[in-house]
Amino acid sequence: QLGLGASPMCDRDATNTPQMQMGFIDFVIVPFYASLLRLFPSGLAPLATNLEANYKYYATLRMAEAPDETEKLQANIAKLAAALA
């Protein structure tokens, strides 16, 4: 209505959703969850499990789009698991 373009993360046509989701998880969610898990290790374990499953889901989508990134994405999955352990 105002003639403004969509912001880069909200542009449905230009945004790579798997890449954006993994970036958000890496830079916002993992540090936050890692802190919470240190405070409440057993009570919040399901959060870590679900986060890792979500990350793997988006990594799998990204691997289908860019098979040459598979090794890097697998390393990122291992890094995420270690950060939440």
Q: Which residue has the higher pLDDT, 15 or 60?
A: 60
12 pLDDT more than 80 = no
Quick one: average pLDDT of 58-81? 95
pLDDT band at 58 (very low <50, low <70, confident <90, very high): very high
- Within 10 angstroms of residue 67's Cβ, the number of other Cβ atoms is 10
Residue 13 confidence (pLDDT):
76
Closest C-alpha among 19, 18, 40, 21 to residue 29? 21
Residue 1 confidence (pLDDT):
67
Residue 11 confidence (pLDDT):
75
